[in-house]
Homo-oligomer: A and B are copies of this chain.
Amino acid sequence: MKRIEGGVTAAQGFSAAVCEANIKYKDRTDMAMVYSKSPCVTAGTFTSNVVKAACVMWDKKLVESGKPLHGVVVNSGIANACTGKEGYDACEDTAKAVEECLNVPYISIAVASTGVIGMQLPVDKLVNGVKKMCSTLSNSIEAGTEASKAIMTTDTVNKEIAVQFEVGGKTVTLGGMSKGSGMIHPNMCTMLGFLTTDLDIKKPLLQEALSEVVEDTFNMISVDGDTSTNDTLLIMANGLANNETIDEKNEDYETFKAALYEVCTYLARRMAADGEGATKLFTAHVINAENKKKAKTLARSIISSSLSKAAIYGCDANFGRFLCAMGYSGETFDQNTVELFFESKGGELQVFKMGVPLEFDEDLATQIMSEEEVIVRVDMHEGDAEATAWGCDLTYDYVKINADYRS
């Protein structure tokens, strides 16, 4: 497997376009479209929030129908959540605008929105946007990059990646983009993400691979504990790589899953590091736990704690907060078998050993915690399961960004 340039347009047959639809933001692109003329086997995971956005309901219906998809239209600025029937109709109208322009069934077009909850979308602007984009679709690398920028809200950097790997002698490409900076908490992807591949694979296996990989990647990040109404991750596979169709869990399937894991891990880490107001990526690595579920719960609890996040911001090795967060996670353990370490490019430091705090060098601690990625490693001494979760620090800017987000 190798990294290549690009994102959603890297794989054969996928094109993208963007436009300035003036939905809420001014002087920037706020709509993006990803399209494949060849029909795509599509899998998806969606928010577990009971209050689902209209677009989530639309996309779920499409993905569950099992019919192939041709593309997705995304807007930033307004989330189209808590908008009743009018909101759902906006999804249908958007998809129908694509049908009119490109002559594909409107039920093959997914839609996704991100932004303020509880505002209606300006449907005319969306429909005009679709028309513009349908006439400017491009399979260039740049078109993919522009799409990854148009879907940003409070994100400070765009997030895209592409990889290539071999399946039965054929070169397969997998690319993707995602956005997400606030309202990010592990519970079914917690963001918008769109992956494209020219792999030929049966839908049930595509869905199974996606669901499994999401558990260890997007569902292991948190910015603020708020699970969004709009979380959507879609993967579209158009089969143009011409590989032998993957229809069982063979070696090819595992090769694809490894590539999917790499792509999702990259995007998930980028999203956590770009959490609203964040200055650092905050990683928790729990090792030698009794079982995988426990390792995951403990790791997520550590990176979700407001107090732990504030300590990471302040470069303060206040390790008691990490133990405290593990303690209220819902899992049980004996604190007397726990060891806790801080590590980064700046070095490594043990601060807690078998139930007892250790004396440590505060200067070294500050040096370690001043790096761009700070890892808290917890050795449970219980078994051999491990898990990693990714979050970010809690800063003044998180409050600033969110105290008056609507205006």
Contacts and interface: CB of A to CB of B under 8 A. Distances in A.
Contacts of A357: 82-83, 118-120
A404 B314 contact: yes
Nearest to A312: B403
Contacts of A403: 310-311, 313-314, 316
Interface of A is mostly: loop
A357 B246 CA distance: 46
A264 interface: no
Contacts of A396: 396, 399-400
Interface residues of A, number: 70
A247 to B, nearest CB: 36
- Give the one of A83, A224, A225, A307 with max B CB within 10 A: A307
B323 A224 contact: no
Interface string A186-228: 0100000000000000000000000000000000000011111
A25 interface: no
A3 interface: no
Interface in A118-134: 118-120
A242 interface: no
B402 A311 contact: yes
Contacts of A313: 399, 403
B324 A183 contact: yes
Given A224-B306, A226-B306, A323 B399 contact: no
Contact of A226 (B307, B355, B395): B307
Contacts of A310: 398-399, 401-403, 405
Task: Work out how many copies of this chain go into the complex.
Answer: 2
A82 B306 contact: no
Q: Identify the interface centre among A82, A119, A313: most chain B CB within 10 Å of its CB.
A: A82
A226 B306 CA distance: 7
Interface stretch (A32-40, A160-168, A327-335): A327-335
Given A118-B319, A226-B324, A50 B333 contact: yes
A84 interface: yes
A315 B226 CA distance: 19
B328 A81 contact: no
Interface string A320-360: 11011111110111011000000000000001100111000
A386 to B, nearest CB: 20
Contacts of A323: 51, 81-82, 117-118, 229
A407 interface: yes
30 contacts: A50-B327, A50-B328, A50-B332, A81-B324, A82-B355, A82-B357, A117-B318, A117-B321, A117-B323, A118-B318, A118-B319, A118-B351, A118-B352, A118-B357, A183-B324, A225-B225, A225-B305, A226-B306, A226-B328, A229-B323, A310-B405, A311-B405, A313-B403, A314-B402, A314-B404, A315-B404, A316-B405, A318-B405, A396-B399, A398-B399
